[in-house]
């Protein structure tokens, strides 16, 4: 099951990146952000899923100390970047709806690159802080991580040092990240709802509602599981529920994002049809 999910995620995200790179009709700021969202999804699911599947089928379920450090650093970097990218895409959608005339200037190529760079910087900074503080602790409670991969909470559980600072950092960083990005997304969808109510045709309302509902569902699942993993789990202290939450936001969501954000768009569908026709013509030149 995990292999199918991972392969589907890789095919969808890599395909989306190649499609946006090769087709001129999807060379807009929205698809520029989607391209980086696909890249981030590839990185953070690849940081944990292959090793997790390997541990499912081999007897020696181990990871080296350096491997654990690298896995935690890479995974946290791109999960955090994913959160800020979703907020950036929400702001981009807001600008496209409410300032269509100023949109090309406000969301110029330079601004888009700065927003993307900011998302990666926030991700790498957060990951570096968590990784540095986590692995500076003394570990004496065994070497078995009660989780599918190296993440901050299960690694902290093995430490015999005082982890109050680490927990405070998690609450501060995750709390700020969720507050900032979720606020941007909620405000964006509020304006989207206002625009939705002004649509006169039933067909237009149905199409807009379908796109909004699917994206909002994916975002809600991602942030709900993320908040449970790093905030609510400290109150409930449920390791099993934490594992389930990590599977959803670390493995399932990267598979859903290409379907929800890209393949439902008209421009993407047309680009896929054109590329498929070209590929089919090469295979069957007589046609």
> In the chain, what are the domains?
2-276 (1.20.1070.10)
CA distance 8 to 101: 38
CA distances from 233 to 24, 56, 202, 225, 238 (A): 45, 25, 43, 10, 6
**pTM for the whole structure:** 0.83
pLDDT digits 0-9 by tens, 136-185? 999 887 788 878 888 888 898 888 888 889 988 888 888 888 888 888 88
pLDDT digits 0-9 by tens, 191-202? 777 766 666 666
203 pLDDT above the threshold of 90: no
């Amino acid at each position: 099951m995990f292999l199918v999910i991972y392969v589907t995620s890789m095919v969808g995200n890599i395909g989306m990146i190649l499609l946006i790179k090769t087709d001129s009709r999807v060379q807009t700021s929205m698809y520029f952000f989607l391209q980086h969202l696909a890249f981030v999804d590839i990185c953070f699911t690849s940081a944990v899923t292959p090793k997790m599947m390997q541990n499912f089928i081999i007897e020696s379920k181990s990871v080296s100390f350096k491997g654990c450090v690298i896995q935690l650093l890479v995974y946290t970097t791109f999960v955090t970047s994913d959160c800020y990218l979703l907020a950036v895409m929400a702001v981009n959608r807001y600008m496209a709806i409410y300032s269509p005339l100023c949109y090309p200037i406000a969301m110029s190529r330079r601004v888009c690159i700065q927003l993307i760079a900011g998302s990666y910087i926030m991700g790498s900074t957060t990951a570096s802080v968590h990784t540095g503080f986590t692995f500076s602790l003394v570990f004496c409670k065994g070497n078995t991580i009660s989780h599918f991969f190296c993440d901050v909470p299960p690694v902290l559980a093995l430490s015999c040092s005082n982890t109050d600072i680490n927990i405070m950092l998690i609450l501060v960083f995750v709390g700020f990240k969720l507050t900032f990005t979720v606020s941007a997304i909620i405000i964006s969808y509020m304006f989207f709802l206002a625009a939705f109510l002004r649509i006169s045709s039933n067909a237009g309302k149905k199409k807009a509602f379908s796109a909004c509902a699917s994206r909002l569902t994916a975002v809600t699942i991602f942030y709900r599981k993320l908040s449970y993993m790093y905030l609510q789990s400290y109150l409930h202290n449920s390791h099993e529920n934490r594992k389930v939450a990590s599977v959803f936001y670390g493995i399932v969501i990267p598979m859903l994002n290409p379907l929800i954000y890209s393949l439902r768009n008209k421009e993407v569908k047309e680009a896929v049809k054109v590329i498929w026709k070209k590929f089919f013509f090469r295979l069957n030149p007589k046609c």
